[in-house]
A and B are shown apart, each in its own frame.
Chain A
Amino acid sequence: MAQDIIRAESFFDRRFGISSRDLEKVLAKALEKKADYADLYFEYRVNEAITLEEGMVKNSSRSTANGVGVRVLAESKTGYAFTDDITIENLALAAHTAQHIAQDRESLTPIPVGEKGSRAHDLYPVKTQATEVPLEKKIALLHEMDRFARNMDPRIKNVFVSLASEHKVVLIASSQGWVVGDIQPLTRLNITCIVEQEGNRQVGSYGGGGRVEFDFFTGKKDYERYTREAVRQALLNLEAAAAPAGMMDVVLGPGWPGILLHEAIGHGLEADFNRKKVSAFSGRIGQRVASELCTVVDDGTIPSRRGSLNLDDEGTPTHRTVLIEKGILKGYMQDRLNGALMKATLTGNGRRESYAHIPMPRMTNTFMLAGETAPEDIIRSVKKGLYAVAFGGGQVDITNGKFVFSASEAYLIENGKVTRPVKGATLIGNGPDVLTRVSMVGSDLKLDEGIGTCGKDGQSVPVGVGLPTIKIDGMTVGGTVS
């Protein structure tokens, strides 16, 4: 990564003519009125989107954005200003605006803000950014998937394929005197199929990606696997019966169902909510919040994953943070502001959508460690319940702990056997309670394919989730058949 710092720094110097001396001056200006900390976040980003529908790539779009955010921390206050016109004058103006909050500071004792941290990663070395691969090559892949899907089944009425790629260069300069940079690739390939049979129209979707090169999709022909999955799901939904309603045992399949962890406990363990004591998990460190089969981590250091980062958006190297160990709540996910106010070690979870956004504690890749039970034995243990293997989105109210996530592929379990497919339904539960009902954990931990995006306070960031097969003793399933 050392190389990336230099590359990122020279990148902004070359592009905007801003030297490290200029950065120092701006930071001094930002700190001027008794602030604890100041930083600058420079960002240059290229986003490209190519979509195919009705057998045609009808449009492709590309956007270039650059800007800088100036942040000043004084006690619990944040002053922020950003501009997309990166000049010394605008930086100085932004610094002046941001330090407004330090004016009426009450205590003169500065609050120590976490240091940079020394661990460096190089998690996503990429030779060619996906945004730089010739358009023709990408268009050819989209067409290949369209053909592949349509050849699979005559009931396929339409196929949508989208490829979204991002190339982001960031540079963070801190009033502690350090400058770090990173080059962050990100790409994602999605396919959606619509099938129709006797007027019954259903949809299936699949996709994957990560901080990887374009060849990720073609190397092992992952694109064929995504296509087969989308078609399979859509056709399966043609057969699906109405979903059951009420409390029952639920078995979650491995991988993407890990969204359960993200919603049920992940958000509730972000430090901002806990410092403010508005989370259902506030003040519960050291307490049992899950069965002893459950160990849950947030790990931003897994190579090439969508949720991974060499350093978070405040320049802190990412970590593997144990959130729950054998059922006991161990820690929160921190950013710089909350870490300083809670006197906690930084965990590398300070993230932001872009230079136009203030950092806050966010998840990276959140998953449960594997257990020892064979997945088949888990299903065999259920008399009557739901087996859910694919999910759409989820949401949580962190204050009362209630969370939902919506299944897009699910089956009934009857007498230890997976029987009929049922329509998607929302599952609802209580965060601090749901993991205490986990009675079996499978040996088959899987991470998701790399398509997750998390929204908080209007900011979207890429994340990952993971789960082995687990059994939850009693959860409310929101179908229509009571």
Chain B
Amino acid sequence: MERLELSPELARDILHQAKAKGASQGDLLMVESDSFFVTVRLGEIEKISQAQEKRLGLRLFFGASSATASTSDISKGSIERLVDETCAMARSTAQDEYSGLPAPEECARTFLDLDLLDDSGRALSVEERSRLALETEKTALDYDRRITNSEGAEFSNQAGRVIYANSHGFSGEYQGSTYGLSVVPVAALDGMMQRDYWYSSQRKFSRLESPESVGRKAAARVLRRLGARKIKTREVPVVFEPEIAATLLRHLSGALSGYSLYKGASFLIGKLGDKIASELITVVDDGTIPAALGSKPFDGEGLSTGRRTVVEKGVLQSYLLDTYSGRKLGYPSTGNAARSVGEPPGVAPTNFYLSPGSFSPEKIIASVEEGFYVTELIGFGVNLVTGDYSRGAAGIWIEKGELTYPVEEVTIAGNLKEILLNIEMVGNDLEMRDRICAPTVKISRMTVAGD
């Protein structure tokens, strides 16, 4: 059957079809993307992958009941089936008084131009893209004789288009791109191997870190892990490097999601207006930063994104909400509706970061008599209902204010409620290199378990 082009007109047409079949409200998300990646290993191309995808997701309401369905088969017949199927499903789900689209007046009227698309990637040949990965890996391999192997380097680029429309007559679209460059070198010492990585990810090709920079950072990261040992169990101050500090913000955003809150599945229930973190902590969610990875002109329900201080000097100022979870909690949406095609909305931060403090990372390390500088965390030992926290860790031991020997096969444990309150220094080294970012932080005390 003939494949249709995705367009706001097609979206309106589908919503009309649904209305004719009895749906009281509905919305539609369409996504199309082109993606490419090349991985190289030990100087040779290992994999090349290229793809085009289109998907369409429909949500329909019959009064207060709803259902969602999606398809990658964008043809007339398939869309008719999709509408019928969604109608049938929506009729059998529960009446939920909080459900429904946002009010018409809440939907965005004007769209910021956030400069999210850089088309220059299309002009790059496969050879040029491969060369970027090859140079990155070569830099890492040439950096030091102890770097003996590699899990490879990758260059990737995607470009996509998002169209969203709802039965209030809202319709909007935006395009965006991402470019990525990464490498995973492997180093060995006395028969023991270590690996580490570095990556750069940007919407603009020109902002991508150079192959030399990515390769050098990955090499330095893997070398500092060689010769790691276990330590005795003890309680000490713990310093999180920026990549690791960002994981705390990820947990924070999960606990502040309206869905976790109304379900009773968060350790931050009822804490709005309370002090939940040290006064050094100010956290911002900003979906309007030009060309940033988490930026978008409107959220998954057609509401404008904005800049919002979520935690100000340790005091919780805002949850992260979409329309539904907001209604459940008695607040308006914060424009954080996140949508994947074919699923009902959820909540996600846009660009979510911990504001930088005044200390250089060196100053922070220098302030520690004996402690643990964490450079890697593994595992899933975080319970957002209770805040209980226990994760596998690797890093470098700090003695008399200096980084000394590498440490591995230990865990760090505590409770997120206390960890947030016990942050006693925040670094000045914030770099917006991902959707969720943080500078270096120092936590006054955690249990480090080893031998």
Binding site for B on A (CB under 8 A): 49, 53-54, 56-67, 76-85, 94, 97-98, 100-101, 135-136, 139, 157-158, 160, 194, 196, 201-203, 243, 245-247, 276-278, 280, 356, 358, 392-397, 399-400, 402-406, 423-426, 428-430, 476-482
Residue of A with least CB distance to B450:
A476
Complex partner residue of A479 from B73, B92, B449, CB under 8 angstroms:
B449
Residue of B with least CB distance to A138:
B92
Say if the beta carbon of B175 comes within 8 Å of chain A. no
Give Cα A177–Cα B227 distance, bound, in whole angstroms: 51
Interface stretch of the complex, out of B291-299, B300-308, B315-323, B409-417: B409-417
List CB contacts (< 8 Å) of B321-376 with chain A: 341-344, 376
Q: How many residues of B contact A (CB 8 A)?
A: 79
Min CB gap A61→B, angstroms: 4
Q: Which B residues are CB-close (under 8 A) to A56?
A: 94, 96
Q: Which A residues are CB-close (under 8 A) to B85?
A: 62
Give 3 nearest A-B pairs by CB, closest first: A478-B411, A404-B392, A404-B379
Complex partner residue of A278 from B151, B263, B342, B383, CB under 8 angstroms:
B151
B234 lies within 8 A of A59 (CB) = no
B392 lies within 8 A of A83 (CB) = no
Among B46, B51, B376, which residue has the most Cβ atoms of chain A within 10 A? Answer: B51
Binding site for A on B (CB under 8 A): 3, 41, 44-55, 57, 66-73, 78, 82, 85-86, 88-89, 92-94, 96, 99, 126, 149, 151, 186, 192-195, 225, 228, 230, 233-235, 263-265, 341-344, 376, 378-381, 383, 385-386, 388, 390-392, 394, 408-414, 447, 449-451
Known contacts: A77-B44, A85-B3, A277-B149. The answer to whether A397 contacts B195 by CB under 8 A is yes
Q: Which A residues are CB-close (under 8 A) to B46?
A: 76-78
A62 lies within 8 A of B69 (CB) = yes
A476 lies within 8 A of B451 (CB) = yes
B447 lies within 8 A of A64 (CB) = no
Give Cα A65–Cα B57 distance, bound, in whole angstroms: 11
Among B78, B392, B450, B451, which residue has the most Cβ atoms of chain A within 10 A? Answer: B392
Q: Which B residues are CB-close (under 8 A) to A53?
A: 263
Residue of A with least CB distance to B324:
A58
B378 lies within 8 A of A402 (CB) = yes
Known contacts: A393-B380, A430-B409. The answer to whether A85 contacts B447 by CB under 8 A is no
B450 lies within 8 A of A392 (CB) = no
B264 lies within 8 A of A157 (CB) = yes
Q: Which B residues are CB-close (under 8 A) to A66?
A: 72-73
B411 lies within 8 A of A476 (CB) = yes
B385 lies within 8 A of A194 (CB) = yes
B192 lies within 8 A of A202 (CB) = no
Provide a sorted-by-A list of 29 A–B residue pairs whose CB atoms are within 8 angstroms: A57-B94, A60-B89, A61-B89, A61-B343, A63-B70, A64-B70, A77-B44, A78-B46, A79-B47, A80-B50, A84-B55, A201-B386, A246-B451, A397-B394, A399-B193, A400-B194, A400-B228, A402-B378, A402-B392, A402-B408, A403-B378, A403-B392, A425-B390, A428-B449, A478-B390, A478-B391, A478-B449, A480-B390, A480-B414
Q: Which A residues are CB-close (under 8 A) to B82?
A: 64
Q: Which A residues are CB-close (under 8 A) to B45?
A: 77, 101
Known contacts: A81-B51, A278-B149. The answer to whether A57 contacts B93 by CB under 8 A is yes
Residue of A with least CB distance to B392:
A404
Residue of A with least CB distance to B449:
A245
Known contacts: A201-B385, A397-B378, A400-B192. The answer to whether A406 contacts B48 by CB under 8 A is no
A482 lies within 8 A of B195 (CB) = no
Give Cα A144–Cα B340 distance, bound, in whole angstroms: 30
Give Cα A135–Cα B90 distance, bound, in whole angstroms: 10
Give Cα A81–Cα B68 distance, bound, in whole angstroms: 29
A399 lies within 8 A of B93 (CB) = no
A63 lies within 8 A of B447 (CB) = no
Min CB gap B90→A, angstroms: 8
A428 lies within 8 A of B388 (CB) = no
B413 lies within 8 A of A400 (CB) = no
Q: Which B residues are CB-close (under 8 A) to A62?
A: 67-70, 85-86, 89, 342
Give Cα A143–Cα B160 distance, bound, in whole angstroms: 40
Min CB gap A57→B, angstroms: 5
B409 lies within 8 A of A476 (CB) = yes
Give Cα A403–Cα B391 distance, bound, in whole angstroms: 11
Complex partner residue of B381 from A61, A78, A425, CB under 8 angstroms:
A425
